[in-house]
Amino acid sequence: MLRGMFRLGALLAGGLVALAVASALLVPILSLLTALLVTIIKLAFFLAVIYFIVKLISPDTADRALEKIRSKVRRVA
């Protein structure tokens, strides 16, 4: 009985150590991915605002710029 309880305690302690190690490794990676996602969203919003301002001032220029971007994306893909 005592040996079984010791084994269960050792397994639980090992599980806690494994959980601590996994969280220590995953938290920085997840925070970096979250920061990257937020940066991409901010950049997309900023570029959309710039595009619509240019579109208000000169629709032809905005259409040409959008077509150049699309052609570059097609070339890469």
pLDDT of residue 3: 80
Q: How many CA atoms lie within 13 A of 35 on its CB side?
A: 6
Tell me the per-residue pLDDT of 27-50, one tens digit each, with 9 for 90 and over: 899 999 999 999 999 999 999 999
Mean pLDDT value across residues 1-23: 88
Share of the chain above pLDDT 70, in %: 99
pTM above 0.75, yes or no: no
Question: Cβ–Cβ contacts within 10 Å for residue 54, how many?
Answer: 15
- Nearest alpha-carbon partner for 69 in 57, 54, 35, 41: 54
Model confidence at 77, pLDDT cuts 50, 70, 90, reads: low
